[in-house]
């Protein structure tokens, strides 16, 4: 794993809302780190950028993120990052249900988008700029204290949260219809809740979670002799062509041409 990339898992109440922090630290290096891929992961992200910033390429569009705090919605295709020299970026990976508990009910507006956090109505008065420079432990405590004032819940949020947890527990090997039956709601209602609180359809979220588990099996194989066909079947894909197409749609290349060194990927615990 690239030494510039590290992960930090939070503890206590924060762990109900924050999956982990991942840190991109090029603050000492004199050379930029170029064109590293970040595949979709089903989470939302708060990005704290300190220093010269990041260059982002996504869906054939490029932009520069200068020092500041940014909110990233659901990403549906791999994005690519250049980490400029003198830059440290801390990515707070929020569970997919977290923004809904903090009052965001129009998540579809942020899908495949990165925007300054202070442009989001719910975040404007939270003084999030104070997070820049905080170390991991203090950062998670600041987040819990600051965002607790926004905490909310209702039947639709609870239903969406339960459906998300079912999908993640099943590693994407579940259907939208079976979720709706289990939760005693219509598929149409589930679709609407996902649009509002997650920003993408339940089917697309299922496909992202399923793909990420397959990706982990490629990066950290249990059996080094495991074939791509075996990876596909063990992750619920009908056949190798189906797996290849799903992989390419999210990652941008086929499993055969995938090189983990070109991406920032989860560190195996």
Series of mean pLDDT values for 10-residue runs along the chain (269 residues): 81 89 88 95 96 96 96 97 95 95 94 94 86 88 85 93 97 97 97 97 97 92 81 91 94 92 85
Are residue 24 and residue 90 in the same domain, yes or no?
yes
Number of neighbours of residue 134 by Cβ within 10 angstroms: 15
Residue 185 and residue 222 in one domain? no
> What pLDDT shows up at residue 19?
93
Whether 182 and 232 map to the same domain: the answer is no
269 falls within a domain = no
What's the pLDDT at 92? 94
- Flag whether the pTM goes above 0.85: yes
The Cα–Cα gap between 255 and 236 comes to 16
> Looking at the structure, do residues 192 and 174 belong to the same domain, yes or no?
yes
Report helix, strand or coil for 71.
strand
Same domain, 36 and 137: yes
Q: Looking at the structure, tell me whether residues 160 and 93 fall in a common domain.
A: no
Residues 146, 52: one domain? yes
One domain, residues 197 and 210: no
Which of 199, 177, 175, 196 has the alpha carbon at shortest distance from 186? 177
Q: Are residues 184 and 242 in the same domain?
A: no
Residues 131 and 13 both lie in one domain: yes
Residue 103 lies in a domain: yes
Asked whether residue 188 falls in the same domain as residue 223, the answer is no
- Burial of 117 from C-beta contacts in 10 A (0-12 / 13-18 / 19+): buried
| pLDDT reported for residue 28 | 83
CATH of the domain at 19: 2.60.120
pLDDT of residue 2: 62
62 within domain boundaries: yes
Residue 121 inside a domain? The answer is: yes
Do 71 and 113 lie in a common domain?
yes
Helix (H, G, I), strand (E, B) or coil at 88: strand
Q: Is residue 249 part of a domain?
A: yes
The total domain count for the chain is 3
246-256 pLDDT, tens digit per residue, is 999 999 999 98
Q: Residue 163 domain-assigned?
A: yes
CA pair distance 21, 7, nearest whole angstrom: 6
| Predicted local confidence at residue 87, as pLDDT | 95
Give the domain CATH number at 222: 1.10.10
Q: What is the pLDDT of residue 1?
A: 46
**pLDDT at residue 232, rounded to an integer:** 92
Does residue 268 form part of some domain?
no
Determine the structural domain holding residue 185 and report its residue range. Answer: 155-203
Q: Which residues of 185-195 are buried (b: 16+ CB within 10 A; e: fewer)?
A: beeeebeebbb
What's the confidence (pLDDT) of residue 222? Answer: 80
Element (H, E) at 194: helix 187-197
Q: Which of 165, 183, 203 is the last residue of a domain?
A: 203
Distance CA 67, CA 27 (A): 13
Q: Flag whether 37 is in a domain.
A: yes
**Interacting residues of 166 by C-beta distance below 8 A, sequence separation 6+:** 174, 179, 182
Angle at the Cα of 150 from the Cα atoms of 42 and 11, rounded to 5 degrees: 60
């Amino acid at each position: 794993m690239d030494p510039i990339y590290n992960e930090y898992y939070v503890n206590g109440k924060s762990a109900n809302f924050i999956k982990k922090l991942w840190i991109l630290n090029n603050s000492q290096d004199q050379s930029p780190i170029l064109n590293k891929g970040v595949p979709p992961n089903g989470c939302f992200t708060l990005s704290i950028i300190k220093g010269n910033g990041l260059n982002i390429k996504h869906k054939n569009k490029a932009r520069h993120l200068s020092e500041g705090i940014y909110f990233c919605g659901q990403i549906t295709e791999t994005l690519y990052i250049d980490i400029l020299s003198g830059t440290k970026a801390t990515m707070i990976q929020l569970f997919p249900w977290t923004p809904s508990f903090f009052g965001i009910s129009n998540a579809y507006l942020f899908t495949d988008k990165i925007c300054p956090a202070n442009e989001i109505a719910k975040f404007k008065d939270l003084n999030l700029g104070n997070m820049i420079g905080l170390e991991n432990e203090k950062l998670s405590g600041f987040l819990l204290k600051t965002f607790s004032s926004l905490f909310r819940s209702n039947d639709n949020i609870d239903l969406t949260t339960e459906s998300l947890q079912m999908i993640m527990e099943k590693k994407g090997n579940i259907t939208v219809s079976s979720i709706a039956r289990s939760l005693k709601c219509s598929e149409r209602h589930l679709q609407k809740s996902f649009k509002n609180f997650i920003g993408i359809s339940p089917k697309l979220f299922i496909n992202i979670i399923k793909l990420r588990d397959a990706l982990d099996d490629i990066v950290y194989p249990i059996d080094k002799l495991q074939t791509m066909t075996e990876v596909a079947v063990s992750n619920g894909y009908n056949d190798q062509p189906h797996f290849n197409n799903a992989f390419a749609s999210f990652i941008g290349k086929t499993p055969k041409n995938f090189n983990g060194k070109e991406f920032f990927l989860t560190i195996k615990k």
